[in-house]
């Protein structure tokens, strides 16, 4: 080695010493880091850092499969803003090529000969397709592409934005599609107007089906056809009906005849999850009276905006009352991460969720609408987790028994960690007042679960919380609570639906509650620190 080569070698050695530690990682580890570091389309620039990173990124098909979904999202955004998209199609084609042989998810905005040729080259790698067409020509072209076959397609979301007039639908989007064209399709989400492919074996192979949109004159407009379609899906484990009922059913509902005695039933013995979105849909189905389901089916009802006719949901002969309510013993009433939504979740004795009632409006009647269905149910435990109440409820005596009746079999009230003191005391007064009037069991047989924030530095708030508890208990000297369970919590932001699942700190809870224990022991038959 001559002097120049030796000098360059030493220079490279010192240069490498100054590089960040990530450049010394082995390729296998660096590939994993680069894949999980990507967040959006701009992260393609990871391949611009250096030659080594470029080689690793270009040889990582899973990276480009993820980038493809980002590219489709950007394409959709540009299309909505009516911006230039031709250069973005080139990026999509490039991502498709680099993702080979990885399975991919394609989102199709238009579908002409160019898109059809691209899809044809990668037909065996398509795992999911989402359709957002805007014209009839694209629908025809895509139907032809389906007929040519996509052997590994497992999920198809077929919701073209092309809306023909209310007359008979002029297109047959399925043409002659059968199980040979889509042998692995198991999840289908489709506008009800389009119906399903006619092949019986195709329908029988579906595991998840979502029907969306009211059915005007079209493939599923006839009630018998609609029932036959659902009954033909013998392997379904998940069914979603989002504003999806035949128009004739809606007319019957308007006339006050949501379900006639002679109507046929829908039998889905394998179904494990039924989701109904929009109260009017449930009412039009006669509150699902015509469904025959397995005992283990979970039912989710999403209430639409506005008052709605909630009595139709829970009358004596509805599916909810007949199928779901007899198995429920625990009900959770609280918010979720979605702003403005309050939910009632129903659980069996072993903790299995069987029921989900979601309401959009956070109005004055929301508590009544969510609690009144369980008055005559076998529910013994009610868990409350409400960080706030509707504005109207702060101005009315909502805790009167006549306004918001509790389950008659109630034995346990759980006031969980996100519920502030003002709301916890309201529910506690409600428990005492209603137990004296409508509950089967006296307060002496009941258990109250009370959560206390025992984080260090917040002792003043904890003592105020326990003093509020003492105050309410003292307001009802003639009624002695049977059991009080104190849960000391330090973790925040959790959405817990059962008191027994709350992460507690019993040592810290004992320390904080010690000054209050003598008074609580006078007011309650048994006090336990959990």
For residues 303 and 449, give the distance between their C-alpha atoms in angstroms, rounded to a whole number. Answer: 29
Choice between 11 and 428, residue whose per-residue pLDDT is larger: 428
Among the listed ranges 149-158, 234-243, 258-267, 329-338, which one has the minimum average pLDDT value?
258-267
Contact 382/351 with Cβ under 8 angstroms? no
Distance CA 462, CA 283 (A): 46
| pLDDT mean over 430-442 | 83
Give the residue from 48, 65, 83 where a domain finishes. Answer: 83
Select from 33, 57, 83 the last residue of a domain: 83
In Å, what is the CA distance from 204 to each residue of 191, 211, 334? Answer: 19, 16, 38
- What are phi and psi for residue 487, nearest 5 degrees? -115, 115
pLDDT digits (tens, 9 = 90+) for 181-206: 888 889 999 887 777 887 888 888 89
Reduced 3-state DSSP string for 86-111: HHHHHHHHHHHHHCCCCCEEEEECCC
Q: How many domains does the chain have?
A: 2
Least Cα distance to 484 among 504, 458, 502, 466 occurs for 466
Q: How far is CA 286 from CA 238, 254, 272, 280, 383, in A?
A: 20, 11, 21, 10, 30
Cα distances (Å, whole numbers) of residue 343 to 349, 381, 386, 416: 19, 16, 10, 15
Indicate whether 168 pLDDT > 50: no
- The verdict on residue 7 lying in a domain is no
The 10 Å CB-count burial string (b at 16+, else e) for 357-381 is bbbebbbbbbbebbbbbbbebebbb
Asked if residue 460 belongs to a domain, the reply is yes
Q: Report if residue 147 sits inside a domain.
A: no
Report the pLDDT value the prediction gives residue 405, as an integer from 0 to 100.
79
Q: For residues 25 and 33, is the Cβ–Cβ distance under 8 A?
A: yes
d(C-alpha 46, C-alpha 330), whole Å: 50
pLDDT one-digit tens code per residue, 340-381: 567 889 999 888 999 888 765 556 666 777 787 888 889 999
Whether 381 maps to a domain, the answer reads: yes
8 Å CB contact between 295 and 319:
no
Q: Looking at the whole model, is its pTM more than 0.85?
A: no
Residue 411 domain-assigned (yes or no): yes
Q: What proportion of the chain, given as a percentage, has pLDDT over 70? A: 72
Collapsing DSSP to helix, strand or coil, 359 comes out as: strand
CA angle, corner 185, sides to 182 and 191, nearest 5? 100
In 399-496, beta strands by DSSP E: 412-415, 447-453, 483-489
- Domain membership of residue 9 (yes or no) is no
CA 57 to chain centre: 34
Q: Are 101 and 131 in contact (CB under 8 A)?
A: no
pLDDT (tens digit per residue) in 17-28:
455 666 666 777
Higher pLDDT, 256 or 289: 289
Full domain range(s) for residue 475: 328-530
The per-residue pLDDT for 165 is: 46
What are 110-137's pLDDT values in tens digits? 777 777 877 888 888 888 888 887 777 7
Q: Alpha-carbon distance 520 to 526, whole Å?
A: 9
> What does the angle CA 296 – CA 496 – CA 518 come to, to the nearest 5 degrees?
125
Domain edge (last residue) among 51, 83, 115: 83
271 is a domain residue: no
The sign of the dihedral angle between the CA atoms of 514, 520, 526, 530 is negative
Query: Does a structural domain hold residue 196?
Result: no
């Amino acid at each position: 080695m001559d002097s120049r080569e030796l000098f360059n070698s030493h220079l490279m050695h010192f240069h490498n010493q100054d590089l960040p530690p990530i450049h010394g990682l082995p390729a296998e580890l660096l590939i994993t880091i680069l894949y999980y570091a990507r967040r959006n389309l701009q992260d393609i620039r990871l391949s611009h850092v250096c030659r080594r990173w470029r080689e690793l990124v270009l040889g990582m098909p899973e990276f480009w499969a993820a980038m493809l979904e980002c590219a489709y999202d950007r394409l959709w955004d540009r299309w909505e803003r009516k911006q230039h998209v031709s250069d973005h199609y080139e990026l999509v084609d490039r991502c498709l090529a680099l993702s080979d042989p990885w399975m991919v998810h394609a989102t199709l905005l238009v579908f002409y000969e160019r898109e059809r040729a691209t899809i044809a080259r990668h037909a065996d790698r398509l795992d999911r397709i989402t359709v957002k067409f805007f014209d009839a020509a694209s629908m025809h072209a895509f139907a032809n592409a389906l007929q040519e076959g996509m052997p590994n397609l497992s999920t198809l979301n077929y919701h073209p934005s092309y809306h023909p007039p209310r007359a008979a639908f002029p297109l047959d989007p399925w043409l002659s599609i059968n199980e040979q064209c889509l042998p692995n399709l198991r999840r289908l989400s489709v506008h009800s107007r389009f119906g399903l492919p006619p092949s019986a074996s195709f329908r029988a192979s579906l595991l998840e089906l979502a029907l969306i949109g009211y059915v005007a004159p079209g493939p599923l407009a006839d009630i018998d056809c609609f029932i036959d379609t659902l009954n033909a899906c013998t392997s379904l484990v998940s069914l979603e009906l989002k504003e999806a009922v035949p128009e004739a059913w809606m007319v019957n509902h308007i006339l006050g005849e949501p379900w006639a005695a002679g109507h046929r039933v829908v039998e889905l013995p394998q179904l494990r999850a039924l989701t109904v979105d929009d109260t009017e849909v449930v009412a039009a189905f006669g509150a699902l009276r015509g469904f025959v389901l397995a005992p283990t089916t979970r039912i989710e009802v999403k209430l639409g905006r506005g008052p709605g006719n909630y009595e139709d949901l829970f009358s004596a002969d509805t599916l909810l009352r007949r199928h779901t309510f007899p198995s429920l013993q625990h009900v959770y009433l609280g918010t979720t991460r979605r702003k403005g939504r309050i939910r009632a979740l129903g659980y069996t004795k072993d903790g299995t969720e069987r029921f989900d009632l979601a309401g959009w409006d956070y109005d004055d009647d929301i508590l009544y609408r969510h609690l009144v269905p369980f008055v005559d149910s076998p529910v013994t435990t009610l868990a409350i987790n409400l960080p706030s109440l509707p504005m109207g409820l702060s101005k009315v005596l909502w805790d009167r028994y006549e306004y918001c009746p509790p389950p008659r079999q109630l034995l346990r009230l759980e006031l969980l960690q996100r519920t502030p003191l003002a709301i916890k005391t309201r529910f506690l007064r409600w428990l005492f007042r209603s137990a004296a009037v409508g509950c089967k069991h006296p307060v002496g047989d009941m258990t109250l679960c009370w959560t206390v924030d025992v984080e260090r530095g917040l002792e003043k708030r904890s003592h105020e919380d326990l003093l509020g508890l003492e105050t309410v208990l003292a307001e009802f000297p003639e009624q002695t609570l049977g059991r009080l369970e104190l849960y000391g919590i330090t973790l925040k932001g959790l959405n817990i639906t059962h008191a027994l699942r709350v992460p507690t700190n019993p040592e810290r809870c004992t320390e904080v509650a010690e000054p209050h224990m003598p008074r609580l022991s006078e007011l309650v038959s048994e006090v336990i620190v959990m």
